[in-house]
Amino acid sequence: MALEPATVPQPLFFLDTPAGPDAALALLHLLGTGAQVAGIGAAAPDPDRTAAHTLTDLAGMFGAIRVGVFPAEASPVSDLDPAASTIAHVTLPRSTARVLRTPAASALAQLARRHPGRIRVVALGSARNLLEALRLDRDLPRLLAGVTALTDEVTHDGWARVAVAGVRTTLLPRRLADGVRLSDAELAALAGRGGAHYLLAAMLAGAGEADGGSVPLAGALAATHAAGLAPHAGGVLRAVPADLRAQAVGALLEEGAVREALKVVA
């Protein structure tokens, strides 16, 4: 009798991010592809939990009210009446959910221990939460499925230390992603869907005005796209010279792949 192939558990994603348009794009892309989001961590530093509250409202806006949002660090600041959340001057609808008390690093370590080999981290900010999680649990490199990080300076923000610790790490230099921009027609189509998509379009338009009039698109979408491919990349992508790093991630940043990801969002 032929043996049935073993079922591979679906990966669980942990989004570690500052609050901003990148977070909105990444979260909507993950949800749009049917990915299971195990949690969202506010990237450190966030001492007054402003980013955590904003991410909670963002998740609620996209219908992910059951996804836990964890603060960057423990804080004595009251969670009872946070100020209205805004991204790029767009006020978000208030979510009925609350920021959880467990710090993001502790939550990530606990999730990795609870779901060994299934947690894939998509990181759009600093490496501080990952480094703290590594300090809390030395087995984390073995427990995590991998980390995909969108980064400005690989050697300066801690991601080299994450990779050297043994975590399977894919590094996406943001400067390579900035070449793919959201067109006016794509922005209008996104806004035309109304609701949360209209608010997302307003955020992206606001971010574009602050960035010289066009909207960088590829970063967040490339990160979520690459996270899905991470198990097939093999090994650990350590901090390497920029030209080699560009070759390693170039296929993930091709404009065609990013445009396909945009179809999921828009």
pLDDT digit string, tens, across residues 53-96: 999 999 999 889 899 999 998 765 555 556 789 988 899 999 98
- Evaluate whether 15 touches 23 at the Cβ level (below 8 Å): yes
| pLDDT above 50 (res 189) | yes
- Of 222, 228, 232, nearest to 252 by C-alpha is 222
Q: How confident is the model at residue 242 (pLDDT cuts 50, 70, 90)?
A: very low
pLDDT at 248: 37
pLDDT digit string, tens, across residues 153-175: 555 568 888 888 889 888 777 76
- Of 168, 119, 149, nearest to 219 by C-alpha is 149
21-30, 79-88, 210-219, 221-230: segment of lowest average pLDDT: 210-219
Residue 261 CA from chain centroid, whole number: 14
pLDDT at 136: 97
CB atoms within 10 A of CB 142: 12
DSSP letter for each residue of 132-167: HHHHH-TTHHHH--EEEEEES-TTTSSHHHHHHTT-
The C-alpha atoms of residue 191 and residue 74 are separated, in whole angstroms, by 37
The pTM of this model reads 0.81
| pLDDT above 80 (res 35) | yes
Q: Name 156's Cβ contacts closer than 8 Å, sequence gap at least 6.
A: none
| pLDDT above 90 (res 104) | yes
What percent of the chain clears pLDDT 70, i.e. is strictly above it?
66
Q: How confident is the model at residue 251 (pLDDT cuts 50, 70, 90)?
A: very low
Q: How confident is the model at residue 233 (pLDDT cuts 50, 70, 90)?
A: very low
pLDDT at 243: 37
**All structural domains of the chain:** 12-180+216-265 (3.90.245.10)
Across the range 110-126, mean pLDDT stands at 94
- Evaluate whether 113 touches 94 at the Cβ level (below 8 Å): no
pLDDT digit string, tens, across residues 119-151: 999 998 889 999 999 999 999 999 999 998 887
Strands across the sheet with 12-17, in order? 69-70, 36-42, 12-17, 119-123, 146-151, 169-173
pLDDT at 184: 78
CB atoms within 10 A of CB 203: 24
Q: How confident is the model at residue 179 (pLDDT cuts 50, 70, 90)?
A: low
Task: Let me know how long the chain is.
Answer: 266
Q: How confident is the model at residue 48 (pLDDT cuts 50, 70, 90)?
A: confident
What percent of the chain clears pLDDT 90, i.e. is strictly above it?
31
pLDDT at 180: 59
Q: Please indicate whether residue 27 or residue 82 has the higher confidence score (pLDDT).
A: 27
Question: Which tokens sit at 79?
Answer: 């969670």
Q: Please indicate whether residue 33 or residue 127 has the higher confidence score (pLDDT).
A: 127
Across the range 226-234, mean pLDDT stands at 43
